[in-house]
Chains A and B, each alone.
Chain A
Amino acid sequence: MTETVADIALKVRSKNAGPFWVTVDVFCGSPAAFARLSAGLETAAVAALYGQSVQLVKLFDIADLHVIKFSFPRPVVQGAPDDRDMHGAQWAHLLAEAAVA
């Protein structure tokens, strides 16, 4: 069975980084999970999940903390008429449920 990010990582969270950006932190919890997820998570796949252009997705592999961080412009600006999630915290679940190659 295909594993998801949530199956491997300790926790995935997302939050606004100002009104125009959102940041998703994947807390892997161990060097092994960090190695597995940094190899198995493609920036392009993350961009597609959030309907973003891959050029706008910043990826940070933070080995010391076993954290993988993705930051990108919010799919909609915070508070815009079509914004559904003012704090951007529920977007984490899209990545948590994504399959890992």
Chain B
Amino acid sequence: MPTRVLVPSGVLGLGFDRAALAAGVARRPDIIAIDGGSTDSGPFSLGAGQSKYARAATKSEWAEIMAARRAAAVPLVIGTAGTCGADATVDWMFDITAEIAAETGESLRVARLYSGQPAERVAAALAAGRIRPLTPAPGISAEGLAQMTSIVALAGAEQVQAALATGADIVIAGRTTDTAIIAALPLARGDHAGAAWHGAKIAECGALCSTNPTSGVILVEFDAQGFTVEPLAEGAACTPHSVSAHMLYENADPFILYEPGGHLDVRGARYHALDARRVRVEGSEWVPGPYTVKLEGARVAGYQTTILAILRDPYYVAHARAWVDRLTAFLRATIQRRMGLAPDAYGLEFRLIGVDGALGALENRSGAPVEVGVLGIVTAATQEQASEIGKLINPFVLHYPLTDDEELPTFAFPYSPATTDRGALYAFALNHVMMLDDPMAAFRLTVIEVGA
């Protein structure tokens, strides 16, 4: 049975074309699916269990999508709610949903799919030999797992299907694969499995697979042989090139995509234009395999304080590297003397913005910058210690001379105080998969009625 999936945007919080969303609703979709996050902006969201997007932006976009759902009278599913899909951000998204329902006066059945993993469950799986490392994987142990602030497993189509089977109007899912929320319904209805996953991969970034990437809205129609993708914004088009090129995006392998329970192989896919804006794809293959779910985890890797100074004095700009090397040696000795901290008990690094700030040791070009930004980063075991080191180095970052026989320089500080406490530094601590006998064994589902 053909299945139409409407994707309003690549991620909730980045905006979409309203007219295109209305056009999508008019096409009578069977489901509306949108992604709520990814690891793309780093480990903070998962580590802290917080959304990276503003609540106000999330709420106003979600209210519009909820209204589209009401008009279409079909289920709405969001995956990886609140950027990281931790249990806390699923509840954050649920609170926003309940608030909107109260404001609009609608009654809704809302399912929450939780992907959070207790450390003990993962440790038991590790002991049972049911955790496999991917390449490259950090080392793990039961102790290390217990210290992680957050662990999630990426749900696949089966868990999203279980949530849809509750009859929910809205499914708020924790961490899922980007594709699972789109592939779930076509797979449940028996559409072509290779097409379901491939079409989901093409649509998961919204209109990024079209010639108008920021317009957001995409409609994918799945059937027994393949899928058809079309953008809904005025003037946007999908071409065989724009669609097939999307397999390159943020993908290490452009032909193979691993999912829970198997992998997608698109080497045999054929893309052809149905007209100037729609593309038909057939020939992708789903290859069943063992049922594993990927794990993501974050731990605290220290606490940071930063300081920024700008060198404009041409003599110091020309000798910026020598200056920070001399400064660092002096500061290391001073920190040891005054705080009793050995050099390996904390991190102290100065990055030269204007010299090699982005690439570090990989930089192979040099030039003559007008000014150099010196970004000092202190990483310590506690915030108190990082702040203390920051205060200790502050006057020297401002005044330290390149040689002993010159007047003390004074560099430009853009702030007062010159130091900024950054809080916890989180690190990704898992790149592993966990084997499951029952797809729901590591996931939890709750259903509640909200509104009038």
Chain A residues within CB distance 8 Å of chain B: 15-21, 23, 25, 49-51, 56, 58, 60, 62, 64-65, 67, 69, 71, 73, 75, 77-82, 84-87, 90-91, 94, 97
Contacts and interface: CB of A to CB of B under 8 A. Distances in A.
B249 interface: yes
Contacts of A15: 249-250
B248 A80 contact: no
B359 A81 contact: no
B362 A17 contact: no
Contacts of B134: 20
Interface residues of B, number: 43
Contacts of A60: 253-255
Interface stretch (B15-23, B39-47, B330-338, B392-400): B39-47
B427 to A, nearest CB: 6
A78 B361 contact: no
B354 interface: no
B236 to A, nearest CB: 20
Interface in B256-310: 296, 301-302
Interface string B129-166: 00000111110000000000000000000000000000
19 contacts: A17-B252, A18-B39, A20-B134, A20-B431, A23-B252, A60-B255, A62-B254, A64-B244, A67-B245, A75-B362, A78-B42, A79-B42, A81-B377, A82-B349, A82-B360, A84-B358, A86-B42, A87-B41, A97-B364
A73 B136 contact: yes
Contact of B254 (A49, A51, A69): A69
Nearest to A80: B427
Interface of B: 39-44, 134-138, 241, 244-245, 248-255, 296, 301-302, 347, 349, 351, 357-362, 364-365, 377, 379, 425-428, 431
B39 A19 contact: yes
B250 A23 contact: yes
Contact of A19 (B43, B241, B244, B364): B43
B359 A94 contact: yes
Contacts of A75: 362
A81 B347 contact: yes
B204 to A, nearest CB: 14
B273 to A, nearest CB: 14
B42 A67 contact: no
A49 B362 contact: yes
A52 B255 CA distance: 23
A96 to B, nearest CB: 11
A25 B244 CA distance: 14
B250 to A, nearest CB: 5
Given A77-B428, A80-B301, A17 B44 contact: no
Contacts of A69: 248, 254
Contacts of A65: 241, 244-245, 248
Contacts of B428: 19-20, 77-79
Q: Which 6 A-B pairs have the closest CB atoms?
A: A71-B252, A17-B252, A79-B43, A79-B42, A19-B428, A90-B358
Contact of B251 (A17, A51, A64, A82): A17
A50 B362 contact: yes
Nearest to B135: A73
Given A16-B40, A58-B253, A62-B254, A81 B301 contact: yes
